Amino acid sequence: MQPNCGHLHSIAGSGAPCPPSGDSSCQPSAGAVHIQLGEARESTSSRQGSQSRSHSHGEAGGLEDPAPDSEEHGGSSLSELRHLLQWLHKSLPYLLILCVKLLMQHLSGISLGIGLLTTYAYANKSIVNQVFLRERCSKLQCTWLLLYLTGSSLLLYYTFHSQSLYYSLIFLNPTVDFMNFWEVLWIVGVTDFILKFLFMGFKCFILLVPSFVMPFKSKGYWYMLLEELCQYYRMFVPIPVWFRFLVARGELDSVLGWTLGILLGLLYLILKLLSFFGQLRNFRQVLRIFFTRPHYGVPASKRQCSESDDICSICQAEFQKPILLICQHTFCEECISLWFNREKTCPLCRTVISDHINKWKDGATSMHLQIF
C-alpha cells in the first residue's frame, strides 16, 4: 500500500483535497500531510502579509500625489457639467423658440413625412393581414389598398410637380437646388417611400390574382422576390442625388473645393459598392430559392404520421398534408412553411433544415428608410 500512500501525499501536497481511503495504514501519514499543509498555509500567509505590508508602504510612499489630483480632475469635470446644465437651463426657452421656428419652416416637409409614414404603416399591416387570410382575403380591401397607394403617390408627385421628384425613381436628377442638404434629404426620403408604395402595389396585385392561376404557395415566393428586389433597387436610387450633392463645390469656389468634392463623392461610391457586394450574396440566394422552390422534406406516410400520434406539434391538430423533415419529425405542410418564414431549424429538435430564412414571404415590407 505504500505506493498508494505516496500518491496521496503528492496529491495533498499539490493542494488537492485528500481522497477518502479505507486503508487504516494510510491515516497517520495523511494527518501528517494536513499538518504540513497547515504549516505551508501559515508560511504563505505570513509571506503574503509581509508582501502586502511592503506594498502598502510602497503605495503610501510613492503614490501619494495622484489621489488629490484625480479628485481635482473629477471636480473640474463636474463643474464643467454643471456649467453646461446651467447654460442649457438658461437657453432652453430660446432653443424652444428656435425649434418651433424650424418646425414652421419645414412644416410641409414634416407633416408630409408623417403622412407617408402612416400610409406605409397602414398599407403594410393591411397587406400582411390579407396575405395571412389566404383564400379568405377580401378582394375589395386589396383593390382599395391598390387604389389608395397609387392615389397617394400620384397626388404627391402632382403637388410637387415643379420639382420633378419622379426623375429620381429612374436615376435622373430632379429639378431641385442641390446645394441644400434638406432638399437632398427630402428627395431621397420621398423617393424611398414612393418605391415602397410601388412594390406594395405589386403585392396587392398578386393578392388579387385568383388562386387557380397562382397558388398561395407560389404567391409567397413572389412576395419574397418583390421585397428583395425593392430593397435592392432602393439601395441604388439615392446614388445620383447624393453624388451630385457631394461633388458640388459649395462655398469653396476653388481647386481645393473641387478636389474635396470629388474625393467625398468617390468615398461615397466606394462605400456604396461595398454594401452592394455585401447584399449580392443574399440576393443571389433569394433568386435561387425563387427559381428552385426548395422542398424541406418529403410527404409523410401513414406509419410515420402515427409515430407522432397523428398530431402536428405546431397546430396541435390532425395532420394536413404531412411533411417529414430530414430529422424524422412530421408537421403539416402549411404549419412548417410558416415556421420557415422565421426560422431555419426544426421546431422540435433544432436541426438546421434551411440555409435561408424566407423572411418576406408573409407580404411584409421593410420599414428601413434608405437615406444614403
* Binding residues vs Zn ion (CB under 5 A): 312, 314-315, 327, 329, 332, 335, 346, 348-349, 351
Q: What's the closest the beta carbon of residue 330 comes to Zn ion, in angstroms?
A: 9
> How far apart are CB 320 and Zn ion at their closest, in Å?
6
Of 8 and 338, nearer to Zn ion (C-beta) is 338
Q: Quick one: 34 or 350, whose CB is closer to Zn ion?
A: 350
CB of 35 to Zn ion, least distance (A): 59
Measured from the CB atom, the residue of 264 and 327 that comes closer to Zn ion is 327
Q: How far is CA 321 from CA 94, 301, 312, 336, in A?
A: 68, 10, 11, 11
Question: What is the nearest approach in angstroms of Zn ion to the Cβ of residue 293?
Answer: 20
User: What one-character DSSP code corresponds to residue 92?
Assistant: H
Q: What angle do CA 245, 249, 250 make, to 5 degrees?
A: 80
Provide long-range contacts, Cβ within 8 A and 24+ apart, for 141-144. Answer: 142/204, 142/207, 142/208, 143/204, 143/208
User: 197 or 319: whose CB is closer to Zn ion?
Assistant: 319
- The span from the CA of 157 to the CA of 194, in Å, is 10
User: 90 forms bridges with which residues in the sheet?
Assistant: none
Q: Which is nearer to Zn ion, 48 or 351 (CB)?
A: 351
The answer for residues whose C-beta is within 8 angstroms of residue 232's C-beta and 6 or more apart is 279, 283
Shortest gap between Cβ of 168 and Zn ion (angstroms)? 46
Q: Strand 330-332 vs strand 297-299: parallel, antiparallel, or unpaired?
A: unpaired
Supply the minimum distance, in Å, between the C-beta of residue 333 and Zn ion. 8
Q: How far apart are CA 115 and CA 160, in angstroms?
A: 15
Q: Which three cell numbers stand for residue 276?
A: 452592394
d(CA 116, CA 97): 27
Would you say 98 or 311 has its CB closer to Zn ion?
A: 311
Cα gap 230→193, rounded to integer Å: 11
Shortest distance in whole angstroms from residue 331 CB to Zn ion:
6
Closest approach of Cβ 322 to Zn ion, in Å? 9
Identity of the residue, 30 or 327, whose beta carbon is nearer to Zn ion in the bound complex:
327
**Choice between 183 and 343, CB closer to Zn ion:** 343
DSSP state of 295: -
Q: Which is nearer to Zn ion, 76 or 320 (CB)?
A: 320
CB count in 10 Å sphere of residue 226: 20
Q: Rounded to the nearest whole angstrom, what is the least distance from the CB of residue 127 to Zn ion in the complex?
A: 24
The Cα-based distances of 224 to 1, 235, 330, 365, 366 in angstroms read 75, 17, 25, 9, 11
Q: What are the residue ranges of helices labelled H in the chain?
A: 2-13, 27-62, 66-105, 107-133, 139-159, 181-208, 216-236, 239-247, 255-292, 302-307, 333-339
Residue type, 186: W
* Residue 224 C-beta: closest distance to Zn ion, Å: 22
Q: How far is CA 88 from CA 91, 97, 100, 102, in A?
A: 5, 14, 17, 19
Residue among 187 and 346 whose Cβ is closer to Zn ion: 346
With CA atoms as reference, report the closest residue to 296 among 337, 335, 350, 342.
337
